Every structure is written in structure tokens, then in C-alpha cells.
Amino acid sequence: MKLLTHNMLTSHVKGVTKGYPLLIKATEVKMNEVEFNPQFVSRMIPKLEWSALVQAADELGQRQDLPGELVPDYEKNEDFLKKVHRLLLEVEVIEGCLQCPESGREFPISRGIPNMLLSEDEA
């Protein structure tokens, strides 16, 4: 699971109102090189929940010097874009789980695939 995907995933357990962002508990993380496309990154940033990305990076110990808030003129800052690219696309959670912040329900991640299926009574 890449952090870009995590940024869009939310808990949908019945009755939960604050199911985002999901907490990440990773037991295995891998790096997977992906070609850098600055236009992709700079256009993606406005679509992200920035604080959720920072939180996820923190949880994985991958934050490095990522700012808590977006810097102005980031579109032209290639260094910054490369850091964001790495976090969004190259860090992969292979094993672990995602946890609903409100209900505590855990969704397992195995082989890089989060299993978000709910049981009958949770849906």
C-alpha cells in the first residue's frame, strides 16, 4: 500500500463519523523506485489531505524534514517535489494494519494489499 492510496482511504464502519485518517501500524515496509514526474506531484498536492500525509510519514518514521504545512511556490521546488514523490509513491507498506481512529477496528495489510472488507454486522 502506497501513502497516496492511504491518503484517500477511510474507515466505513457503521456509525463512525471520524474514520479518517486511518492509523498505520506497519511491520514490513519496502522501497520501490518509481519514475519521478514533477507535474504529477505538483498537481497531486492540492488533492491531498496534507496533514494526513505528514501523520502517515511520521508513523512510518519516514518524515525526514517534511514541513507540517505546505510551503508557498512548492510547484517550482524540485527538491520538495522529489521528497513528496518518494513518500507518495515509493514507500510501500507490505505487512501491518490500518486502524480506524474512532472505533479501533483494524484492517489487515498483507502482501501490500489492505483488506477493507467489513463483516455483516459492521457494515
Residue ranges binding another protein (CB under 8 A): 1-2, 4-5, 8-12, 20, 32-35, 37, 39-41, 43-44, 47, 49, 89-90, 111-118, 123
Q: Of 7 and 59, which CB lies nearer to another protein in the complex structure?
A: 7
User: Shortest distance, CB of residue 64 to another protein, whole angstroms?
Assistant: 19
Contacts 24+ apart (CB under 8 A), 44-51: 44/4, 44/88, 45/70, 45/74, 45/84, 48/4, 48/7, 48/88, 49/7, 49/20, 49/21
User: Shortest distance, CB of residue 117 to another protein, whole angstroms?
Assistant: 6
